[in-house]
Structure 1
Amino acid sequence: MAARQSSETIISPETGETLTRGVRPFTVIYKGESMTVDLPGYYPASQGEGVHVGDDMAATDAALRILKEKVDGVPAPETIRRMRTKLKLSQREAGSLFKVGENAFDKYERGLIEPSGPTIQLMTLLEKHPELLDELR
């Protein structure tokens, strides 16, 4: 009879080792900048490779977005949401106003796509000068 597994352990498909659910530090590097995050996953007792499932990689995705914002000026989803709500625009209104499509801001704020350079520049300008919003309308 096969050994029973709990939801806290799995068998590694590569090594056959028992992996236990846990968190380990992981460093994300982007264009020379780095950030260390706690990466959930299933890990061996040794310092070997882990297995990541479901949303385990969300921590690294978020870190990469933060680094891209810092290095390239591409706003992270949270920054886009903050800018839009500061301007008191719904996602649909923002998409229409910025001429990017009515669902674009939903996708920006969920991190599915990144806004274009001109859209980023316009968001940044409007955040600093919200009075210009009326002129765009």
Structure 2
Amino acid sequence: MTMAMKETALPDTMTAPETGEILTRSVRPFVVAYKGISLTVELPGYYPAGEGDGIHVGKDMEVVDVALRTLKEQVDGVPSPATIRRIRTKLNLSQRDAGALLKVGENAFDKYERGLVEPSGPTSQLIKVLDRHPEIADELR
């Protein structure tokens, strides 16, 4: 982890705003479902001692986002940010160069790899083809 990515340490407890109950920082299993397929993730947050909903702050929900993208990749074939980054790196392209090669804009791959935007259907298909046939990149240039 780089220093720029380092998150400030969170306190061990917090008071629930609605009930005044003391919540403790921990993780709980959480099921992420998409089109009939599911993954269980360990969701960090502040939770009550017994049953009940937690409060999620900062980057807590990132594990849910990653799981959902993984499921969408399995079910719909939409490449996940990690897959997009892996293929771009395999092709030895910068994000800017990859955007120019696929004619999607110079900042598109930054957005794809950060999970802010999903590539369109044709772009997803081309990324997958380039993974299997990297030599096609030369033709696209």
TM-score (normalizing by structure 1): 0.93
Cα deviation digits, residues 11-55 of structure 1 (max 9, x gap): 111221110111111000111110000000000001111111110
**Structure 1, unpaired ranges of 5+:** 1-5
Task: From 113, 116, 119, give the equivalent of 1:115.
Answer: 119
Cα deviation digits, residues 50-90 of structure 1 (max 9, x gap): 11111010111110010010111011100000011111111
- Write the mapping of 1:46-85 to structure 2, written as runs, cut at 5 A: 46-85=50-89
**Structure 2, unpaired ranges of 5+:** 1-9
- Runs of 4+ deviating beyond 6 Å: none
- Write the mapping of 1:94-109 to structure 2, written as runs, cut at 5 A: 94-109=98-113
1:33 matched to which residue of 2? 37
Equivalent AA in structure 1 for residue 102 of structure 2:
F
In 1, the alpha carbon distance for the partners of 2:130 and 2:11 equals: 48
In 2, the alpha carbon distance for the partners of 1:127 and 1:53 equals: 36
In 2, the alpha carbon distance for the partners of 1:75 and 1:134 equals: 22
1:3 matched to which residue of 2? none
TM-score (normalizing by structure 2): 0.91
Rg larger in structure: 1
| Count of residue correspondences | 132
SS in 2 for 1:48: coil
Fraction of identical pairs, as percent: 70
Mapped pair 1:44 → 2:48:
yes
- Write the mapping of 1:4-23 to structure 2, written as runs, cut at 5 A: 7-23=11-27
In 2, the alpha carbon distance for the partners of 1:60 and 1:132 equals: 34
